[in-house]
Amino acid sequence: MVGKEDSKKNYINYVLVGLLVVAAFAIGSLYQKVSMLEKGVGTGNQQTAQGAVGPSAPPKQVTVSQNDPSQGDAKAKVTVIEFADFQCPYCGAYSGLDAQTVKAMQSQDSSWQPVEPSLIKDYVNTGKVRFVWKDYPFLGQESIWSGEAARCAQDQGKFWEYHDYLYSHQQGENQGAFSKDNLKKFAVALKLNTADFNKCLDSDKYLKTMQDAQTYGQSVGVSGTPATFVNGQLVSGAVPYSQIKPMIDAALK
C-alpha cells in the first residue's frame, strides 16, 4: 500500500519531469530560432534574407513607376531594383551603412563587400545603370512608419538622404528606434521642412503606398529583404557585390 507521503513524492516527481520536458522544448525552440536568425532566416512571414540564392527563374517584368526613388539615367540599358525594409539589418549591410552587420558578414566571408556603394560608383554615376528603390516593409510597424517617413522626405527631394540616415541609425526591430517621434527628429537633423514633414507622417499619407508595396513585392516573387532584380532577374539575399557585378556586365553586353 502506498502511503500519503509516497503519493506526494510521486506527484512532485511527475510535476518535475513535466517541467523538464517543457523547459527542454522551450530551449530547443529558442536555439532553433537563434540559429535561423544567425543564418538570416526569420520565422513565419518575417524572413530577412542573408544568404545568396542565385538566379534560377526566367526574368520577371518588374514595373518601375515615376514615384519610385531612383538614381541614374532613366534610359540606362540596365535597371537594378532593390526591394528593401529600413529595419532589415542585411539591407543596412547591402547599403554599406550598417557597419556592424557589414563586419558580421565579412567575418563569415572576408571578401564580402556591400552592393550599393560600388554599384553607384561603378555603374550609376557612369550612366550605365539605373538603380531603383522599392519598399518591402514587412518586419513590423516601424518598417511601415520608416517607409512612410522616407516618402515624406521624398516630397522634399530628400529621399536618399533620409534613406542613408535610417540605415545609419538602426537599433533592432520594433524597439522604438523608428518611432514617429524619432523619425521627426531625423527630419530635423536633415534640415527638412518639419511642419510639412510632420503633417505628412501624422496623416499616414503613404500608408496605402506601404501596404501596396508589400503586396506588389510578393506578386513578383519577393519573400524577404534585400531582394535585387537585375533587368528582371531576381537574386535574393545580402549577396556580395562580386555576385551582382558579373550579372550587370553580362546585361550590358
Residue-wise pLDDT tens digits, 186-218: 999 999 999 999 999 999 999 999 999 999 999
- Considering 11-20, 45-54, 59-68, 157-166, the range whose residues carry the highest mean pLDDT is 157-166
Cα–Cα nearest to 117, from 203, 240, 248: 240
What radius of gyration do the chain's Cα atoms show?
A: 23
Which has the higher per-residue pLDDT, 12 or 126?
126
3-state secondary structure 101-165: HHHHHHHHCCCCCCHHHHHHHHHHCCCCEEEEEEECCCCCHHHHHHHHHHHHHHCCCCHHHHHHH
Residue 246 has pLDDT above 50, yes or no: yes
For residue 9, what is its C-alpha cell?
Answer: 513524492
Residue 23 has pLDDT above 50, yes or no: no
Cell numbers 536555439 label which residue? Answer: 31
> What pLDDT is recorded for position 43?
28
pLDDT (mean) for 128-143: 97
> What pLDDT is recorded for position 186?
98
Pairwise CA distance, residues 231 & 60, whole Å: 8
> What pLDDT is recorded for position 12?
52
- Residues 84-122 pLDDT 10s: 999 999 999 999 999 999 999 999 999 999 999 999 999
Rounded to two decimals, what is the model's pTM? 0.78
CA-to-CA separations, 21 to 15, 18, 26, 27, 214, in angstroms, rounded: 10, 5, 9, 10, 40
Signed CA dihedral, 156, 160, 161, 165: sign only? positive
Residue 18 has pLDDT above 60, yes or no: no
pLDDT (mean) for 4-24: 49
> What pLDDT is recorded for position 3?
53
Which has the higher per-residue pLDDT, 176 or 56?
176
**Percentage of the chain with pLDDT > 90?**
75
- Residues 150-191 pLDDT 10s: 999 999 999 999 999 999 999 989 999 999 999 999 999 999
Q: Helices 180-189 and 159-167 meet at what angle, rounded to 10?
A: 120
Cis status of the peptide bond prior to 226, with omega within 30 of 0: yes
For residue 213, what is its C-alpha cell?
Answer: 508595396
- Residues 40-50 pLDDT 10s: 433 223 344 44
> What pLDDT is recorded for position 41?
34
Pairwise CA distance, residues 62 & 81, whole Å: 8
Q: Is there a contact between 95 and 71 (Cβ–Cβ < 8 Å)?
A: no
Count the neighbouring beta carbons within 10 Å of the beta carbon of residue 202.
12
> What pLDDT is recorded for position 60?
77
Q: Is there a contact between 151 and 163 (Cβ–Cβ < 8 Å)?
A: no
User: What stretch of H or E contains 197?
Assistant: helix 194-202
Pairwise CA distance, residues 212 & 169, whole Å: 26
> What pLDDT is recorded for position 10?
55
